């Protein structure tokens, strides 16, 4: 596990770019954090590194936003609104088999449907200063591929 302190939204996007430059087809990133923690901001940086030029928005109400114009397709998902973890209506397996990258917010709602390997990125607010934009980012790997990715950060 690596812990990284981020002091601004631009620094969060830079971390996303660093991660994005090291991604490969079929990679799965799980994003954890409260509303407004910076999950979509991190995803914007990842998208930029993948060559995606259109604006990246939160998938809160659409469940999945697809960005196919980069060097790798990006599938940005929000599992919060799935009723009872119903991934059948989403066809999660099909997205995971595409030659793209899946970024999933609120993965705890579909934990039993996840493959055995992934990178988890937990974003927490700095409790010492609630008005601060500072975030604590904890990155952990499950599986050999993601251990390698973690070492590149």
Per-residue pLDDT tens over the stretch 81-105: 766 556 666 788 888 899 999 999 9
pLDDT in tens, the chain (153 residues): 999 999 999 999 999 999 999 999 999 999 999 988 999 999 999 999 999 999 998 887 778 999 999 899 999 999 887 665 566 667 888 888 999 999 999 998 888 888 999 999 999 987 766 667 899 999 999 999 999 999 998
User: Could you give the CA distance from residue 84 to residue 94 in angstroms, rounded to a whole number?
Assistant: 19
pTM: 0.92
Domains of the chain: 2-151 (3.40.50.300)
H or E stretch at 18: helix 9-20
């Amino acid at each position: 596990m690596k812990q990284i302190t981020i002091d601004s939204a631009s620094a969060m996007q830079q971390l996303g770019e660093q991660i994005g430059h090291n991604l490969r087809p079929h990679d799965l990133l799980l994003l954890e954090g409260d509303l407004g923690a910076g999950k979509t901001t991190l995803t914007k940086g990842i998208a930029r590194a993948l060559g995606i030029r259109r604006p990246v928005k939160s998938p809160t109400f659409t469940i999945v936003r697809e960005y196919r114009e980069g060097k790798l397709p990006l599938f940005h998902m929000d599992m919060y609104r799935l009723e009872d973890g119903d991934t059948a209506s989403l066809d999660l397996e099909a997205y995971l088999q595409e030659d793209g990258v899946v970024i999933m917010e609120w993965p705890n709602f579909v934990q039993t449907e996840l493959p055995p390997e992934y990178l988890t990125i937990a974003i927490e607010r700095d409790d010492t200063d609630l008005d601060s934009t500072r975030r604590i980012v904890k990155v952990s790997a499950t599986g050999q591929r993601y251990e390698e990715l973690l070492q590149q950060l």
